Amino acid sequence: MSNKPRICVALFHRNAITVAEGAEERLGFAMYHWAILIRPKDIREIDHCTLIDATDGMNFDPVTHIDSNPTHEWWFRVRTAIKPVSTASFLGALEIGKLPKSISVQQVVDQLSRIPLPRKHQLPDQNCATWVYAAIETLQQTGYVSATDVQRIMDASMAVAHGIMANGPPEKIKDRFQLLR
């Protein structure tokens, strides 16, 4: 049995944006916030995850408490030792691969940090979902994620989020993490 960390696509609720009437038709994938999540295999260790994303959100300085991103430019964010289920906005995650034993989480972070950030005012829109799409392609090129059609992964991830939005979060934490089938 493998103890390799799991590579997942994680989706988060965007508050009023997610529940607005016509959100999916208007925003598509961007109705949710998207990220890459690396989690331990053992769900009991879920508070030791690494979350990697592109965001145009606030970036508060921990000392001054001043937002260093007042213009909401896109930036690369890595959060370590987090427990995603403790975040009210976390919906669920779709497991898409396993981290090889010879590869560290930091190596994946370094690799994903090289993906170009979304740019504002582009057609088609660029956002956290388009960044995750590129991240999945990058992880496939390295062999960490199977060569499954990326659009299928994105659609399956949306289905996970839609299911949790419609039915509420599952009772068991492990059921928030689904396997791509």
Segment 45-78, tens digit of pLDDT: 988 999 999 999 998 888 999 998 899 999 999 9
Band of residue 147 on the pLDDT scale cut at 50, 70, 90 = confident
pLDDT digits (tens, 9 = 90+) for 89-146: 999 999 999 999 999 999 999 999 999 999 999 989 999 999 999 999 999 999 888 8
Closest Cα partner for 29 from 115, 164, 132? 132
Q: At what angle do helices 128-141 and 105-112 cross, to 10 degrees?
A: 120
| Strand runs labelled E in the chain | 6-13, 32-39, 49-55, 75-82, 90-98, 177-179
Dihedrals phi, psi of 37, to nearest 5 degrees: -120, 130
In-domain check, residue 1: no
Q: Given a cut of 70, is residue 85 above it in pLDDT?
A: yes
Whole-number pLDDT of residue 33: 97
Q: How far apart are CA 173 and CA 181, in angstroms?
A: 19
Whole-number pLDDT of residue 87: 85
Residue listed under structure tokens 């991830």: 157
The radius of gyration computed from the CA coordinates of the chain, to the nearest angstrom, equals 16
Q: How far apart are CA 151 and CA 169, in angstroms?
A: 24
Whole-number pLDDT of residue 180: 86
Whole-number pLDDT of residue 128: 97
In-domain check, residue 100: yes
Q: Is 141 exposed, middle or buried (0-12, 13-18, 19+ CB in 10 A)?
A: exposed
> Looking at the 3D structure of the chain, how many domains does it have?
1
Question: What number is the average pLDDT over the span 157-175?
Answer: 93
Whole-number pLDDT of residue 40: 94
Q: Given a cut of 60, is residue 1 above it in pLDDT?
A: no
Q: Given a cut of 90, is residue 2 above it in pLDDT?
A: no
**b vs e for 144-158, b when ≥16 Cβ sit within 10 Å of the residue's Cβ?**
bbeeeebeebbebbb
In-domain check, residue 68: yes
In-domain check, residue 93: yes
Q: Given a cut of 90, is residue 148 above it in pLDDT?
A: no
Q: How far apart are CA 33 and CA 55, in angstroms?
A: 9
In-domain check, residue 147: yes
Whole-number pLDDT of residue 91: 96
Task: Determine the structural domain holding residue 31 and report its residue range.
Answer: 6-179
Residues with Cβ within 8 Å of residue 92, at least 6 apart in sequence: 10, 11, 160, 161, 163, 164, 169, 176, 177, 178
In-domain check, residue 137: yes
